[in-house]
């Protein structure tokens, strides 16, 4: 982000993230990505509203972390009582 002032240009590197989304079906992926994008855009809008004249100069990095979850198989055991 940058902002032009009387003293020159001020640069800031704010970080915007969204909460992790859980996807259990491949049909949910696009919806979850759009929700994350909306969440980040709202955070950018909030940040911009805190100070006037800030503009996006460049986007330095963008990450999308995807983790595959493989649940463990269930086990059971029997607790025997001795008489």
Q: Are 32 and 19 in contact (CB under 8 A)?
A: no
Coil, strand or helix: which one is 25?
coil
Backbone angles phi, psi at 4, to 5 degrees: -85, 125
Q: Give the structural domain span for 19.
A: 2-49
Spacing of C-alpha 31 from chain mean position: 14
The total domain count for the chain is: 1
Q: Are 54 and 1 in contact (CB under 8 A)?
A: yes
70 in a domain, yes or no? Answer: no
Q: What pLDDT is recorded for position 17?
A: 86
* pTM score, whole prediction: 0.65
- pLDDT averaged per 10 residues in sequence order, the chain, 83 residues: 88 86 89 91 85 81 80 70 64
Q: What pLDDT is recorded for position 57?
A: 84
55 in a domain, yes or no? Answer: no
Q: What pLDDT is recorded for position 60?
A: 83
């Amino acid at each position: 982000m940058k902002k032009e002032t009387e003293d020159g240009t001020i640069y800031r590197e704010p970080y915007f993230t969204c909460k992790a989304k859980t996807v259990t079906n491949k049909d949910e992926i696009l919806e979850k990505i759009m929700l994350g994008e909306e969440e980040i855009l709202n955070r950018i809008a909030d940040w911009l509203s805190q100070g006037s004249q800030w503009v996006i100069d460049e986007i330095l990095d963008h990450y999308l972390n995807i983790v595959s979850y493989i649940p463990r198989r269930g086990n059971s055991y029997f607790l025997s009582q001795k008489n």
